[in-house]
Structure 1
Amino acid sequence: MTKQANVPHVLVFDSGVGGLSVYQHIQQLIPAASLSYLSDNGGFPYGEKSDQVLICRCLHVIEHYLQNAVTQPDVIVIACNTASTLALPQLRQRLRQPIVGVVPAVKPAAALSANNYIGLLATPGTIYRDYTRNLIREFARHCHVVTSGSTQLVHLAEKKLCGEAVSEAQLAACLEKFIAASPANPHPDAMDCLVLACTHFPLLSEEISRLLGPEVKLLDSGEAIARRVAYWLDELGFNLSDVDQTPSAHAYFTQSSKRLDKLEAGLRHYGLLSYSVLTSLLPVGKQ
């Protein structure tokens, strides 16, 4: 296959700003790629939606973007654990592009844990879905797994990117199940790995590490997703070492909001110097 020298285009999708933790890994591994970040802030947060509403919402927003995009993406990344556990089959059936989803890093955590004692931090929906239970059963059967679902952490991550201070008291309350002894967590000091199974949570890695201590390793899926994107671009015939154009970066949102002005500095940190709001997006799946 003759390799293409043009710039590949990758779309990264999430309900909020959490997907920027994945976006950053793709940007670092594949600097030659043009990146678009699509945030469905009009449907945020996804973790509080019913399964069917969430599936419809993801399909609607992504298809609306594709219908209006000047340049079609070559690979689409669903940088949202909640959406990945539900909408990937439907997206792969309806779209021509390779779709890369997020898988909670249960397998590497179980392999890395010296004490066979790990934590899994996600949104409540991800914690209780069969998909996550099956991951634990398949890859961490030999481990004691402490799980905790939090929507408050998602909001704390959003606030941080807007430049607001993260409350240590609120953060500690969100991590209480990992800190305090309980029937579900009889030996808190034994936990040596924590899976961040929501793409928002790596944005709070520094704060979480300060609270839990350096002996607890934090694992997320960002690097693995970036490698998968690179794999697909290679399969599609892109020569990433000989790109003859300058890559671009742009953010899209589904709803205009005063909060977007507060996000500008946070977006610039990831190289997103401009953003726009998708127009004519019908309010599907708002309930």
Structure 2
Amino acid sequence: MMSGHVRFRGAALLVGTALLATACGAGTAPGTSGDTPAVVAAVYPLQWLSEQVGGSDVKVSGLTSPGVEPHDAELGPQQMADLQSSVLTVYIKGLQPAVDDAVAGEAKGFDAASAVQVLEGEHHEDDGHGHEAPTDPHIWLDPSRLARVATQLGDRLAAAAPEQAQGFKDRAAATSAALTALDEEMADGLAQCAGKSLVTSHEAFGYLADRYRLKQVGITLDPESEPSPARIAEVAKIARAEKVSTVFTESLASPKVAEVLASEVGAKTAALDPLESKPASGDYLSAMRANLATLRTALGCT
């Protein structure tokens, strides 16, 4: 789930970036872009959320480029400069160690996971070696949890830029309401399904499964891991026993292992978006609704 392979360029980069930020920020108040406060979001769902809550009162930038697996995100000079000049950095502790290091001790860091109850990471025994993630960072795949993050984000932005406080709080309430409506739509759509098991390429969908009473069966813990033959055999056994008709692949991960497993158990494949990067079209809400449609078909929901 969390690879731990995020690369960080060390103290030399921090010093160089500080000089760059100082030079580029001459005449500009810290944490602003011109007259507009700057907000940095670590991953796409938090960027989307920051844009919804911040509106035109903030300038939002993301640390993870589109099409890049967030666990592999690399902080370059521009990203470090953005972090230093922001009034708020919205991130999820443990998802990207480089970001954790960069915001350590910074009061302007907002760990979105602190706003919700987190799930413990899964544990696999692969060839006698256990692999475990302390917590699952993919909180955005439960809209009800993301709604609570929206509310707290509004409060944090209001504190960071008090002159726009009411706008932040109003937009946070509207965003929370939109996410609550999405949650209700997904709960209704997944209430009556023939199947309950999600066999996925990697274990990104724990919050979705937890919220809508489904069972996640991940082939790997994170997208960089290669599953052992023992793990593949274990998942195949579960898939056959539970008559799984679909094995889910992801846009940013190789579908090879999922396709082999699907062929072995007589299932088909379908893409489920973990929203670790900006979707090719639409936004968070439309991508989640597309996931809902995919799940309803795969699980035989009525």
TM more than 0.5: no
Tell me the TM-score normalized by structure 1. 0.33
Higher Cα radius of gyration: 2
Higher relative contact order (CA 8 A, sep 6+): 1
- Give the TM-score taking structure 2 as reference length: 0.32
